[in-house]
Amino acid sequence: MKDSKDRLEALRAEIERRNPAQPEFHQAVREVLETLAPVFAARPEYADPAVALVERLTEPERQIVFRVPWQDDRGRVHVNRGYRVEFNSALGPYKGGLRFHPSVDIGVVKFLGFEQIFKNALTGLGIGGGKGGSDFDPRGRSDAEVMRFCQSFMTELHRHIGEHTDVPAGDIGVGGREIGYLFGQYRRITNRWEAGVLTGKGAGWGGSAIRPQATGYGSVLFAAEMLKVRGESLDGLSAVVSGSGNVALYTIEKLQQLGANPLTCSDSHGYVVDDKGIDLALLKQVKEVERGRVSEYAQRRGSSARYVSDGRIWDVPADVAFPSATQNELDGQDARTLISNGIKAVSEGANMPTTPQAVRLLQEAGVAFGPGKAANAGGVAVSALEMSQNAARIAWSAQRVEEELAGIMRSIHAVAYETAERYGTPGDYVAGANIAGFERVADAMLAQGVI
C-alpha cells in the first residue's frame, strides 16, 4: 500500500508539472488518484510502471483548440476560443457536453472531460469520455447572435465529431436552443441527417423524452438511494438547491414529486430563499421562458421569498443539499455550516461543486455524500439512451425512459456502495465511484493494448 501511494504521488507530481496552470484539472486528477491506492495494492497490473496505464489515462487522446469568429448584431466581429477534448474512447465514442461560459479554458475542459470518463463508465452504457466548449458568454446576447456563434463553432467542430466518433451535448450555457443551432449547421455542412451526432435534441426531431429532466431527476434519485441505506427517505425533508439552470430546475421538480420541500435557487448574482418552498411554475417562467434572473422570481413571488445578493446559499438551514450550479461552489466553511445545521445528505448535481476540503469535512461528519460522477450521471445516461433510440430510429415513451433512468441510478448507487465496501471504505461513495469507474476503463484499456 505504501509503495502504491508513493507511485501515485509521483504520478500526480509529474501530471501537475506537465500541465501547468490547470488547477481544476489538477484537482480532478488528485481526487481520483487519492482513492486508487487500495486498487493498486490489490491489482498490481494497474500500477505496473511498464504499462503506464495511469499516464495514458490522464493524457487526453486528442485535444482540439480552434478559433470561433462571429459577428454581433451591430456587425462587429468577435473572436472566441473553441475546445473539444477527446479524452478516452476505450468504452465507446467520446461523450460529453459543451460548456459556453467565460470561465472556460483548456484546464476546465480537461477537468470536465476527465470526470466524464469515470461517470460515463459508471452508467454501464458504452460511452467514452470527452468535453468541449468555449469562453463565449451567451448572457445578454440575442437569439441571432447565439445562432451565428453556434454556426461558426460547428463549422470547425463538425470535422471532429460523428455518431461513432464523438457525440457532444449540452452543459452550462448550452441547452435545447444551442443544440438546435449546432445540429442545423452540422446537417447543412455534412448533408447528413445524422441524429446520433448530438444529444439533447428537441423532442420532435430525435431528442429523447426526459433528457432535459434527467440530470436533476437522477441526482435526487441518487440522494434517495443514499438515504434508503440509512433507513430514511426524502419525504418531508427540506432541501437547499443551488443554481437555476436545467439541473437545478429538475432537481426541484423531482424533490417536490417525492414530498420534499426545496427552499432555494440561485444564479451568479445571488440566491432566493422561499419559506413556502419554490414555486416551480414561476421559476420556470422566469428562467426558461424569459431567460431572466432569480431576483425577478423573488420580486414576483410575494412575501414568502427573499433575495440575498451577498451571502452564502449554504447558510440556509435544510436537511439535504444539492449543489447544482458550478465547480467549487461549496467550500470548507460552507461544509461546516451545513454540518452544524444537521445536514443529512449532499448530492452533487454540478460537476465538482464541492471543494476537496469540504468533501473531507462532510464525510468525517458522517454526512452521506454523493459525488457528481455518480450522482449527476443521469444526464449523460439518458443521452446514451437518446443515442440508442436514434440508432434504432424510434422514440421511447417518457414513462419508459424514466423507468430506465431510475434503474440506472439505482445500479450506479449499488456499484459505488458495494465497491467502497469491497475496498474497506464503507459509505465512501467518492472512493466507490472512482474505483468502480476506473476498473471498467482500465480493464478495457489493458485488453485493447498500448493505444
> Could you tell me which of 172, 85, 86 has the C-alpha nearest to residue 135?
172
Rounded distance between C-alpha atoms, residue 90 and residue 447, angstroms: 9
Beta bridge partners of residue 77, listed in sequence order? 71
Residues with Cβ within 8 Å of residue 225, at least 6 apart in sequence: 409, 410, 413, 414
User: Which is closer to ligand GLU, CB of 343 or CB of 380?
Assistant: 380
Least distance (Å) from ligand GLU to the CB of residue 379?
4
DSSP 112: H
What is the contact mask toward ligand GLU in residues 304 to 343, using x (rule: CB under 6 A)?
----------------------------------------
End-to-end Cα separation, the chain, in angstroms: 28
Q: Which is nearer to ligand GLU, 383 or 419 (CB)?
A: 383
**Which of these ranges, 42-50, 95-103, 237-245, 411-419, lies near ligand GLU under the rule CB under 6 A?**
95-103
Rounded Cα distance between 374 and 120, Å, is: 9
* Smallest distance, ligand GLU to C-beta of residue 364, A: 27
CB of 71 to ligand GLU, least distance (A): 28
Contact criterion met (CB below 8 Å) for 266 and 313: yes
Among 86, 171, 274, 319, which residue interacts with ligand GLU (rule: CB under 6 A)?
Answer: 171
Residue closer to ligand GLU by CB (options 80, 351) is: 351
Query: Do the Cβ atoms of 401 and 390 come closer than 8 Å?
Result: no
Q: Does 113 bind ligand GLU (CB under 6 A)?
A: no
How many Cα atoms sit within 13 Å of 309 on the Cβ side? 5
- Output 161 or 169, the one with its CB closest to ligand GLU: 169
Residue labelled with grid coordinates 462571429: 70
- Which of 53/436 has CB closer to ligand GLU? 436
User: Considering the complex, what minimum distance in angstroms separates the CB of residue 352 from ligand GLU?
Assistant: 10
Residues 8-67 that bind ligand GLU (CB under 6 A): none
Residue closer to ligand GLU (CB basis): 166 or 225: 166
CB nearer to ligand GLU: pick between 130 and 262? 130
The answer to whether 351 contacts ligand GLU (rule: CB under 6 A) is: yes
Angle between helices 106-123 and 398-422 (to 10 degrees): 90
Among 7, 12, 84, 95, binds ligand GLU (CB under 6 A): 95
97, 173 contact by CB (below 8 A): no
Nearest-CB residue to ligand GLU? 97
d(CA 395, CA 409): 21
Closest CA to 249 of 278, 209, 291, 211: 278
The nearest distance, CB 169 to ligand GLU, in angstroms, is 3
Determine the interface stretch with ligand GLU among 52-60, 91-99, 152-160, 319-327 (rule: CB under 6 A): 91-99
How many Å apart are CA 435 and CA 61, to the nearest integer?
21
Q: Which residue has the cell 476506473?
A: 438
Helical packing angle, 106-123 and 429-447, nearest 10°? 90
Q: Which of 82, 97, 212, 349 binds ligand GLU (CB under 6 A)?
A: 97
By CB under 6 A, what part of segment 363-422 binds ligand GLU?
379-380, 383
The burial of 302, by beta-carbon neighbours within 10 Å (0-12 exposed, 13-18 middle, 19 or more buried), is given as: exposed
Q: How far is the CB of 448 from ligand GLU (least distance, A)?
A: 22
Shortest CB 133 distance to ligand GLU, Å: 10
Q: What is the CB neighbour count within 10 angstroms for residue 106?
A: 17
Does residue 246 interact with ligand GLU by CB under 6 A?
Answer: no
For residue 86, which amino acid is it?
Answer: E
169 binds ligand GLU (CB under 6 A): yes
Question: Which candidate in 95, 110, 119, 131 is catalytic?
Answer: 131
- Is 131 a known active-site residue? yes
| Residue 89 or 383 with smaller CB distance to ligand GLU | 383
Q: What is the dihedral of CA 63, 382, 329, 24, to 10 degrees?
A: -20
Integer angstrom CA distances of residue 89 from 33, 124, 145, 213, 383? 20, 14, 34, 26, 16
* Cell digits of residue 293: 434572473
x-marked contacts with ligand GLU along 121-160 as a string, rule CB under 6 A: ----------------------------------------
Which C-beta is closer to ligand GLU: that of 134 or that of 383? Answer: 383
Nearest CA among 287, 312, 270, 328 for reference residue 112: 328
Q: Kindly tell me which residue out of 199, 244, 326, 363 binds ligand GLU, with binding defined by CB under 6 A.
A: 199
Q: Where along the sequence are the contacts to ligand GLU (CB under 6 A)?
A: 95-97, 169, 171, 199, 351, 379-380, 383
Catalytic residues: 131
